[in-house]
Amino acid sequence: MAGERFFNDDPVDGSTNAPDLLGRQQYAQHAVALLHQVREQSESGVLALIGPWGSGKSSVLQMTIQHLKNAAGATDTNRWSVAELNPWIYADLESLTLALFSEIRAALPDGNQWSELRRKIGAFGQSISPLGKLTGLLGLDSSELINHVADRIAGDTSASAAKRTAEAALRQAALPVLMVMDDLDRLTPEELLVVFKLIRLVGHLPNVYYLISFDEQTLLDVLQRTDLVGSNDQRAQEFLEKLIQVRLDLPAFRDRDIAAMTTRLLNALLDSHVVSMTADQEQRFAEAYFRHLQDRLRTPRSIKRYFGQAGATLGSLAGEVDIVDFLIVTFLRTSEPGAYRMLGRHRAELTGTSIDPALQRDSSPGERAERWKERLRQAGVAQDNIDGMLGLLGLLFPAVQQAVGNGGDPRAAARRRGIGSQDYFDRYVVFTVPEDDLPEAIFQQALAQMASGAEGDEAAQLLLRLREDTHRIVRRIDQLRADGIPVPAAALLQAMADNYGQLTAQPEAMGLLGADRRVRSFTPSLLLDLPPEERPSVVAAMAATPDGAVLATRTLHSATNPDDTASEHSTTTEPWAAQARDALTERLAEHLAPAAGRPASDITEQDDTLIWMWRHTDPASIRTWLRDRLDHGWELLPLLAALITPQQFPFPLIDNETWAGLDALFTHDDLYTRLTPLLNNSPDTPPPTDQHQTNILQALRDRRPDQHQATPDTPS
């Protein structure tokens, strides 16, 4: 596995350093045998190795060359000289002609006995190569050019004499020369005609044979763009048949060969990045491969290119993403770049976080699937590949799976660190863990440090991310819990309490859930993860600061009122809950002590929140505390103005929850008794000048119980 080469597209020659992994040696030997047969039956010839792009033609050529070179020292019958010519690197006929004869000369053995043959071949090449200038100097097209070449060779000129001299020398030497030309399908139409005419008229020499290589359909398409052939497929076929004596069609790359190569390169990729697949991942990749990828990865080059791209970007993502999702995304990026770019444009919808009303409307799975198909068409995906691409998107994104009517578990993407999760999407498109994210190793180390009480850089990074990206960190911790992995609940509760006032994460798109609400919805579960005997001390420790006391109270109240979190009183009578409430009540009183020395109109927003929290731990003690404040200088209406948040129409100023809270803080009877002069517009009591206070009085009048109704002769 260590010898696999992902980034090298060079052909292999079957040697130890470049082994034949596709079993093509046997076919190369077959090509050598055919060369011997052609040599026995003809003093020159053209053989063509034909196969699709990326199917391994160049490797078969190299193995054929290697077999011929290895046999060079055997008998004269098996002896060949080999030359290689890449015609697509030469700009004109003159350069190509010189190169052809130069390569033939270079292929001849060293030694004085061959020097005369080299000289004669060189003289022939030089005698005709200036004809290449005719194209530029006289403006001749390719058909005129070949006529001039033919005239020079057939006439009584120095060129024809040089050709006869070279032919006689080549016959006498009896040493076959094989001229190998690869990738002819890369040529332009004009260049291709020049090469074919050069082979047929100029290079048709005794004991000079040609082995050319190309993708047939591509070559036919090129020929049909020439004036000589025109857009006639049959004529193009006939043109090739006149030039080529023997076809060597590359053996088909069978499904079992494709699967074997894919498996080998996949294992090499995993081994080189120290990554393994679980049984579930193996099943998911097999589904993606056999249903969608196999038909698109049909040649050795396409398979190597695919895994080469995967190897080029896996790097720092190893262990940070789901390997199957990564491989599918790599396929999209390399084979369907338009569809890959589309992912970013529809990220919110794909990760289930979009608040676009149009996407929330009810529609049938067929309609939603058609919407995705149309997007794929607009992204440039061929019609034949639309269904397969939609299937791949369904494997990646539960939202797409739901769109096509096949269900889909949104939590599954997060559980596997898949691209379909909003927490991991960015990793797949930036090819690393972003700076505002936490790598898995650091995340795990941070939790371990918190569990042991040790301070460390990793724990500090976790706390930083908790403050700046609360939603993601909380979701990741919650995912561990959902997977049955223990988390340091006590340490996390303390960390969240200590940082509760500093949470700055932006609201979630779906539901505009703020960072504090994300924490408040999560901490009750953490508290209940602890053994009951540990809970009171953890709650008390959380309440060491005013902000922490707010979170601790909300956490305890939600944990002890699982079915009715708006209830003013806990429904849990377990001893641990009572101990925790007592500890919280004591902490809340400590944090509110400074407020007792200020006027009611000057209490802070934090004091306001603490007062509301106290009603959840011990309503009787907060009523006593407030009555004492009211009896010693606080004014009730300014206090209510601080406690009751102004509301916007059509929401009531005092809704049912606020109404119940006021009863817990004051009791309705005491509230109305103290406010009777203001509520009844007593002439001895001036009305408030503050509009919010005026609105509160009216809201209380609207809510006034029967026993507190104004007398008939008293204005209401």
DSSP letter (8 states) at residue 208: E
Do residues 487 and 524 make contact, with C-beta atoms less than 8 angstroms apart? no
Higher pLDDT, 239 or 321: 321
Using the predicted structure, report yes or no on whether residue 185 has a pLDDT greater than 50: yes
| Average pLDDT, integer, range 18-26 | 77
**Residue 98: per-residue pLDDT:** 78
Give the C-alpha separation, 169 to 322, whole Å. 67
Find tokens 């006590």 and name the residue.
Answer: 490
DSSP letter (8 states) at residue 418: -
pLDDT digits (tens, 9 = 90+) for 207-259: 899 999 998 888 899 889 888 888 888 888 888 888 898 999 988 888 888 88
Q: Long-range pairs for 87-91 at CB < 8 Å and ≥24 separation? A: 87/181, 87/184, 87/187, 87/191, 87/195, 88/183, 88/184, 88/186, 88/187, 88/191
CA-based Rg of the chain, rounded to a whole angstrom? Answer: 42
Question: Cis peptide before 650, with omega less than 30 degrees from 0?
Answer: yes
Using the predicted structure, report yes or no on whether residue 715 has a pLDDT greater than 80: no
DSSP letter (8 states) at residue 292: I
**Residue 240: per-residue pLDDT:** 87
Give the C-alpha separation, 534 to 521, whole Å. 20
| Average pLDDT, integer, range 662-689 | 89
Give the C-alpha separation, 328 to 310, whole Å. 10
Give the C-alpha separation, 261 to 267, whole Å. 10
Do residues 334 and 305 make contact, with C-beta atoms less than 8 angstroms apart? yes
| Average pLDDT, integer, range 645-662 | 87
Task: Give the Cα-Cα-Cα angle 686, 687, 690 (nearest 5 degrees).
Answer: 130
pLDDT digits (tens, 9 = 90+) for 65-97: 988 888 755 555 678 889 888 887 776 667 777
| Average pLDDT, integer, range 136-140 | 36
**Residue 130: per-residue pLDDT:** 55
Give the C-alpha separation, 625 to 5, whole Å. 78
**Residue 9: per-residue pLDDT:** 60
pLDDT band at 572 (very low <50, low <70, confident <90, very high): low
Using the predicted structure, report yes or no on whether residue 137 has a pLDDT greater than 50: no
Do residues 560 and 606 make contact, with C-beta atoms less than 8 angstroms apart? no
Count Cα atoms within 13 angstroms, Cβ side, for 710: 17
**Residue 498: per-residue pLDDT:** 94
Which of the residue ranges 208-212, 632-636, 683-687 would you say has the lowest mean pLDDT? 683-687
pLDDT digits (tens, 9 = 90+) for 357-415: 666 555 677 788 899 999 999 999 999 999 999 999 999 999 898 887 776 787 889 99
Which of the residue ranges 51-55, 246-250, 424-428, 695-699 would you say has the lowest mean pLDDT? 51-55
**Residue 142: per-residue pLDDT:** 46
Structure tokens, 189: 């139409």
Using the predicted structure, report yes or no on whether residue 618 has a pLDDT greater than 50: yes
Using the predicted structure, report yes or no on whether residue 549 has a pLDDT greater than 90: yes
Do residues 58 and 224 make contact, with C-beta atoms less than 8 angstroms apart? no
Using the predicted structure, report yes or no on whether residue 545 has a pLDDT greater than 90: yes
| Average pLDDT, integer, range 691-697 | 93
Higher pLDDT, 546 or 120: 546
Higher pLDDT, 145 or 259: 259
Q: How far is CA 661 from CA 62, 195, 569, 625, 668, in A?
A: 87, 93, 10, 15, 10
Higher pLDDT, 105 or 140: 105
Which of the residue ranges 150-164, 234-248, 329-343 would you say has the lowest mean pLDDT? 150-164
**Residue 501: per-residue pLDDT:** 85
Q: What is the pTM of this model?
A: 0.76
Q: Rounded to a whole number, what is the distance in angstroms from the first to the last CA of the chain?
A: 91
Those residues with Cβ within 8 angstroms of residue 151's Cβ, 6 or more apart along the chain or in another chain: none
Angle between helices 546-560 and 605-617 (to 10 degrees): 30
**Residue 568: per-residue pLDDT:** 66
pLDDT band at 421 (very low <50, low <70, confident <90, very high): very high
Give the C-alpha separation, 604 to 547, whole Å. 13
pLDDT digits (tens, 9 = 90+) for 489-518: 999 999 999 999 887 655 544 444 678 888
Structure tokens, 354: 């979009």
**Residue 585: per-residue pLDDT:** 96
Higher pLDDT, 401 or 562: 401
